Structure 1
Amino acid sequence: MRKQIPNIPFQMLLRGANAVGYTNYPDNVVYKFCELSVQCGMDIFRVFDSLNYLPNLIVGMEAAGKAGGVVEAAISYTGDLSDPSRTKYNLKYYLNLADELVKAGTHIICIKDMAGLLKPAAARILISALRDKYPDLPIHIHTHDTAGAGVASMLACAESGADVVDVAVDSMSGMTSQPSMGAMVATLQGSKLDTGLDLKNVK
């Protein structure tokens, strides 16, 4: 793929100390995996831990960074930070975690909304706070359209300062996939966030 597509960055998901599996591997295995991945053309490593367990995240971040990859540390989103009665996963929790990932040297911060829980109101609160705290750090948002609110949430993220939001081609979008690319492109047409993409070419 790299030979055929030389000029577009490739991104992969790295489960921290679990690499691309569902069990912990010795650190040297994770480091070697990242080294070989970069040699084969991988560019960006989205590093996450489903429980936001910092030691696991840092193993993956250090392995990807040492290999020469771009480190995109991901915060797994859960709860509803727009609801003040839910105090465990509140704004302070996410900002503190972002602080630790920035200290650990991430190049990009990612919000990984794997269950499609990020509502537009919560997205505005979270992304605005991250953008205010880290004005120069790229912010990347990933969601699944499980609840059907993905386009609205990604639009809120974009308007609040996110640099990148993940979408899927229309025929493969929605439900447990990502929000519709066509819907996002059409929604942003004529706005200051216009993608510049020709809707006829978005399929």
Structure 2
Amino acid sequence: MFAITVCEVAKENGMDIFRVFDSLNYLPNMLLGMEAAGSAGGVVEAAISYTGDVADPMRQKYSLEYYLKLADELVKAGTHILSIKDMAGLLKPEGSKLLISSLRDRFPDVPIHVHTHDTAGAGVAAMLACAEAGADVVDVAVDSMAGMTSQPSMGAIVACTKGTKLDTDTHTKS
């Protein structure tokens, strides 16, 4: 099978973590990719594509229950890491807290990784909320490349966590 061969070659050439996602969260496609990456010996990071607003009760199609059900299936299928892929930067702080704390409660031992784009400008606040709610990893970009369609600012995250329980312990020379 082509997918398995591609994953095997990638693994042989140094790729360790395989983020598997489908932009429409179509589970059969994701399971195919997860199986290929896992069979090659890779670390499987199943990523749920986020849309909508889980904190808005008027939004019913992509509700919290929708994401939790999908996460159940991905964990059951053997993902090593559960990821939220916020391609459009729609994840806001309140939704971040609700989604990540619910995932953390349901899967206390599964690493949670959040990837967002700062398209709407709320990326720093959303990633801080995700970290507070129990995410293990949040993606950021170096300040000069951050914002807009890139990831939130690393410098802003580091500055905002200084002196808190989330302090990155980054030391800089004065």
1:62 aligns with 2:44: no
Q: 2:66 aligns with which of 87, 93, 96?
A: 93
Aligned to 1:41: 14
Structure 2 Cα separation of the partners of residues 178 and 107 of structure 1: 23
Give the alignment's TM-score, normalised by structure 2. 0.98
Offset, 1:117: 0.2
Distance in 1, Cα, partners of 2:85 & 2:3:
21
1:180 matched to 2:148? The reply is no
Q: Secondary structure of the equivalent of 1:51?
A: coil
State the 1:199 CA deviation.
4.6
Give secondary structure in 1 for the equivalent of 2:57: coil
Partner of 1:113: 86
What does residue range 22-171 of structure 1 map to in structure 2 within 5 Å?
A: 28-171=1-144
Residues 186 and 199, structure 1, Cα contact 8 Å, conserved in 2: no
Question: Whole-Å Cα distance in 1 between the matches of residues 82 and 30 of structure 2?
Answer: 12
* Structure 2 equivalent of residue 24 of structure 1: none
Cα deviation, residue 33, structure 1: 0.4
Give the number of the structure with larger relative contact order, counting CA–CA contacts within 8 Å between residues 6 or more apart.
2
Q: Which runs of 5+ in 1 are unaligned?
A: 1-27
Task: Return the offset for 1:198.
Answer: 2.3
Q: CA shift at 1:120, angstroms?
A: 0.3
SS at match of 1:56: helix
Deviation at 1:29, TM superposition (A): 1.0
Q: What CA RMSD, in Å, does the superposition of the two structures yield over aligned residues?
A: 1.0
Q: Secondary structure at the match of 1:61?
A: helix
| More displaced 10-residue stretch of structure 1: 192-201 or 87-96 | 192-201
Q: Distance in 2 between matches of 1:118 and 1:199?
A: 31
Deviations 1:102-156 (A, max 9, x none): 0110000000000000000000000000000011100000000000000000000
Alpha-carbon offset, residue 64 of structure 1: 0.4
Q: Which runs of 4+ in 1 moved over 4 A?
A: none
Deviation at 1:200, TM superposition (A): 5.3
Percent identity over the alignment is: 73
Does structure 2 conserve the Cα–Cα contact (< 8 Å) formed by 1:143 and 1:150? Answer: yes
Q: Which amino acid aligns with 1:56?
A: N
Q: How far off is 1:196 after superposition?
A: 1.1
Say if 1:34 and 1:64, in contact at 8 Å, map to a contact too: yes
* Residues 117 and 199 of structure 1: CA distance in aligned 2, closer, same or farther (over 3 Å): farther
5+ long unaligned stretches in structure 2: none
